[in-house]
Every structure is written in structure tokens, then in C-alpha cells.
Amino acid sequence: MIKTVKSVDFKGKRVIMRVDFNVPMKDGVVQDDTRIVAALPTIVYILDQGAKTLTLMSHLGDPSKDAKKAKEKAEKDGKVFDEAAYIRGKHRMAPVAAYLETKLKRPVIFAGEDSCYGKKAFIDSQKDGSVIMLENTRFHKEETAKEPDERDKLAKELASYGDIFVNDAFGTAHRDHASTASIAKFVPVSVAGFLMEKEVSYLEPIVRDPQKPLVAIIGGAKVSSKIAVLESLLKNASALVIGGGMAYTFLKAQGHKTGKSLVEEDQIDTAKKIIDSASRAAVELVLPVDHVAAETFDAASKAIPVDGLDLPDELMGLDVGPKTIAKYKEVLAGAKTIVWNGPVGVFEFDAFAKGTEELAKLVAKATENSVITVVGGGDSVAAVNKFNLASKMSHVSTGGGASLELLEGKKLPGIEVCRG
């Protein structure tokens, strides 16, 4: 069990809260506020409970990594590069604080640019009920340092800003960073926010004790990125649906012709082992039985139906065909729990989106029939949003890497610090 905000008294307390406001930005304007909106219930609850101050902290992008790429490009173009100005211009939290203010409908005080250090006096001087936003935590190398002693330098400073630490940043729960986990060592009380609680309540049971039958749908491009989750879900699943580019590695492992489809040659033996494990565990393995293919990987490519398992040499599979969709319907019909991570086709290209769209509709229909449906992973979340079906699922995870690692059965640092 994790401790949540409901378990503590916030009245008169200073709260330091980790949120995941790593939102897409363009010219200093928030492009997608999903993560900001997701944190509002916890923020409002803490303020309604009479917190003295609520200080929010988040990262925004990866300043050092982005600056390195920008510097290399500038040098290649023969231009002078001001790294500090680049970071200040692109990765500051001030625009996010301003946007949050419009959603919260109350002032959000930005604690100042460039640093998260030395803000205690500023925070403590604010009137009761104030909301404060710190600068980007990743402006400091200590945030992501590998050495605990280095992370602790920033963690201790952040801890001095609150009597209670609230972690509601599920998207970074798998990161052992100063602001997500190390801080808990220096704050008397650490609890999870409502978003974190919801994510854990839906995702952990899938690995530990799901309502069965469980059908797991795993898609995406590469087998190599999904090995651990496939192995984990085999323990409880009655059926394992494998789609997307990774399906062609499995089909080749079975001896089928895959044409120009994406195949990870170095993962064929891994695919064979998973096929064997599924057979021994009596887990039904569902692979595409027909395809929608193309000669090139392009949004403008002509969609060519392939009625059968094998693909001609000149074609690549970019989506599943109608027989495969019918098989999905059959397999999902008996499920009590469905977990979906990764699309089954190149849904970004309209000509190759039908398989993923029809699958999303089937999962949404299952939700109507009281099946627990959980969508996790950036691309599958993007897919259900594209088809306006996110609200039709039991739960759509806000964390790509975090949800994947939780489904792999791993312990996530940002969650573990909230354990009772």
C-alpha cells in the first residue's frame, strides 16, 4: 500500500510537491496541458486542507542534452552558441507557472529563474495559501546524478522548503532523482498524490493479482524495448496479443516471410523463447494473420492488402488486416482485464491507422461491459487520444516509461518512497 494525501493533515504545513509538468512547448506556449490538468485535483485538495504554502517542482525537457545538440548544430553552421541563453529561453518553468495560474484560477508565484537553491526565505515569506513554482529541477546536474551523495545536495535543499513531500509525478516515478525520490530521506512525511494513487491502483494489480482472464496487448516497433514486459505479463495473461513492427520479428521467428518489414534479426532467438514460454504456460499468442502493407514507409504510400501470413519481398507490413481485427474481437470477448501498451500499426499514417483504431474501439466497448481496461505507453495513449476514445477507457496512464517499468514488475523509486 502507498500512503496518500488523504492520510495526512496539511493544515498550517509547508508542502513541497513533485509534479510532472514536462509538457510540450512551442515559443514559450504550452501545447498540451494533459499533465497539468491531471495534477489539479491534488493541488486543489492540498490548498483546501489549509496548507501554509504549496511549492511545486518539475523538470521540463532535458536542458543539458538539448543544449548539446543545439551547440553541435550551431558549430556546424558556424554560429556562436550561448548555452545559458538557450537553456533559459527554452526550458524555464515561468511560462508553465503562468499557464497553471489560468487553470487554477489563483496566483502561482514563480520563485525566480536559473536556480532551485536558496528559496527557503522567499517561500516562507509568502502569505498563507500561496502556490509557488520552482525553476526547472534539471537546471542542476545534481538532480539526475548517479551518485547518491550528489543527488542529496539538491534533495536536502528542496526538503527544506516543506514539512510534507507529495509525489504526484508518475511520469518520473521510475527515475531515482533528487526531486522524485532522494528528497524523501530529508522530509518527515512522504505521500502520493491522487494521480500517483490512481496509476498504482490500476497498474500494480495487473502484475500482482489481476482480475482474470487478462488479455495483454503489446505493440510498437521493437521487441528489444518490450522483452521485460512480455515476460512479466506472461505470468498472468490468458492471451498475449503482439502487434506493430515487433510482430514481424515474431513472424520471422516462426518461419514466415516478412518482406521489407521491420525485423530485429538479433531478437529472433528472444522471440522464439517467448513463443516457447507462452506455449508452455498455455497462453494464447496472437500474431497478425493478414496485413495492410506498402512498398515504402511513407504517409503517402498506397495501402496494399495482403490476405495471408506471408508478405511479398517488395512489401512491408504497416498495419493489420481485417482477419486479424476479427481475431482481436474474439480474444477480447472473454477478458475481465485488458492492458494495452503500444499500437498495432503505423496509426500516425491515416492509410495504416485502421487496425489500431478498430482495436481502440474494441477496448472501449469492453470498458462498457465492465472490463477493466488500462492503456499505458506514450504511443498507445496518443492513439486513443487521436481517435477520441481516451475517456472510454478505465484508465489511460500519464507515464510512458514509468507504466512500462511497473508492468515489468519493477519497483519504482518515486513510488517506493510513498509506501506505508
Q: Is-catalytic flag, 35?
A: yes
Dist. CA 94–CA 112, nearest whole Å: 8
pLDDT at 26: 85
Q: Which of 18, 35, 198, 226 is catalytic?
A: 35
From 377, 378, 399, 400, active-site residue: 378
155 in Cβ contact with 182 (< 8 Å)? yes
Task: Fill in the amino acid letter for 214.
Answer: L
Residue 348: what residue type?
E
All three cell numbers of 151, joined, read 543527488
Q: What is the CA radius of gyration of the chain?
A: 23
Q: Is 401 labeled as catalytic in the residue annotation?
A: yes
171 is known as an active-site residue: no
Residue 88 pLDDT: 67
What pLDDT score was predicted for residue 91?
86
Q: Which of 112, 401, 409, 410 is catalytic?
A: 401
Give the model's pLDDT for residue 64. 77
Longest dimension (CA), the chain: 71
Say if CB 233 and CB 404 are below 8 A apart. no
CA 358 – CA 249 distance, rounded (Å): 23
Catalytic residue, chosen from 71, 88, 222, 327, is 222
Cell 483504431 -> residue: 357
Do residues 179 and 154 make contact, with C-beta atoms less than 8 angstroms apart?
yes
Contact 244, 220 (CB under 8 A): yes
Phi and psi at 380, nearest 5°, equal -70, -30
Cα distances (angstroms) measured from residue 287 to each of 43, 63, 81, 308: 44, 40, 50, 12
420 part of the active site: no
Segments of the chain scoring below 50 in pLDDT: none
